[in-house]
Amino acid sequence: MGIINGLEAWHGGSRADGKVGVVNVMGFTARQEQGGCCSGRREGNGNLRYSGLGHGNGGMSMDVEIRGIKKAYFRKKVLTDISFSMEAGSCAAILGSNGSGKSTLLSILAGVRKADGGSFFYRGTDLFRCPGQIPKALGYVPQGDPLMEELNAWDNLRMWYDRETLKRELSEGALKLLGIDDFLKTPVRRMSGGMKKRLSIGCAVVSHPGILLLDEPSAALDPVCKENICMYLDAYRKEGGIVLMATHDAQDLELCDACYILRNGTLHSWEYGGDFHKLAEAL
């Protein structure tokens, strides 16, 4: 297990208070049974070591195997056959024109919408058949930031984190890496887009998921905020996490090992190569 800037970002765990908790996968909530999936211990050097739902691939060829996802809204077929795979530590982008079905696909993978068919295997478990596993397996950051506008960052986080875990994550974990400790007392209504996005990601990773789904994470953000989020995603990925995002942002695309264009309900593999004219033509 790797160490990021002297910190160990940990994913795939459970709440530290040992209770049955509510896990936020942004956009919906689900009950999470505690125990069994992650145990942590502090080492002599102060770093946190976790075992359990680590990011090794457990002998499987691919950690994520998605096959034949279909979705229609009434008679309108939006997704006809979505199939792809991802391995631990990889990052993929889904591109496509407005209305091509990117948000529909991500929300289906997050368990917010139901697919009409297909499977989503994560380390051998079909999450569509075992939706109770979804909160432990993935974090979802939808396009609109689902935060409580009247609350500050600390209070939003407290809806998902117990006090001790929150303090630890802010001082040496994922929340520190996201820079959330800089604006804990700021109410959401006074936050910039970048602060809201970082806070939304912070809430989404409460269960230390192995997969992070992000819908346009960089839309309308300034370059500094984008850089901060990209650095976090890169660290998450280097730690073995799997990142899947809908994006058209050049900085995001640079993080990605694979790009797919969603067109006519299916994914087409595509090589970015740094040329935005090529992207417009491909869409």
Q: How far is the CB of 104 from ligand ADP (least distance, A)?
A: 3
The Cα–Cα gap between 117 and 163 comes to 40
Minimum CB distance to ligand ADP smaller for 82 or for 127:
82
Partner residues linked to 187 by β-bridges? 152
Closest to ligand ADP by CB, 9 or 82: 82
The residue among 61 and 74 lying less far from ligand ADP, judged by its C-beta, is 74
Say whether 210 sits in a helix, a strand or coil: coil
| HSE-CB for 165 with a 13 A CA cutoff | 24
Place of tokens 């929150």: 166
3-state helix, strand, coil in the chain (%, to 5): 30, 30, 40
- Long-range Cβ contact pairs of 29-36 (< 8 A, separation 24 or more): 30/111, 30/131, 30/132, 30/134, 30/135, 31/132, 31/135, 32/135, 32/136, 32/207, 33/132
Q: Which residue has the tokens 């500094």?
A: 224
CB of 246 to ligand ADP, least distance (A): 6
Compute the least distance from the CB of residue 280 to ligand ADP, in Å: 15
Task: Report, in Å, the least distance between residue 102 CB and ligand ADP.
Answer: 4
Give the footprint of ligand ADP on this chain (CB under 6 A).
73, 78, 96, 98-104
Is residue 95 exposed (0-12), middle (13-18) or buried (19+ Cβ within 10 Å)?
buried
Instruction: Please say which residue, 71 or 136, places its beta carbon nearer to ligand ADP.
Output: 71
**Nearer CB in complex with ligand ADP: 100/228:** 100
What is the smallest separation between the CB atom of 16 and ligand ADP, expressed in angstroms?
35
Smallest gap from residue 260 Cβ to ligand ADP (A): 12
| Shortest spacing between CB 106 and ligand ADP, in angstroms | 8
Contact 233, 264 (CB under 8 A): no
Q: Which among 85, 167, 103 has a CA at the least distance from the CA of 140? A: 103
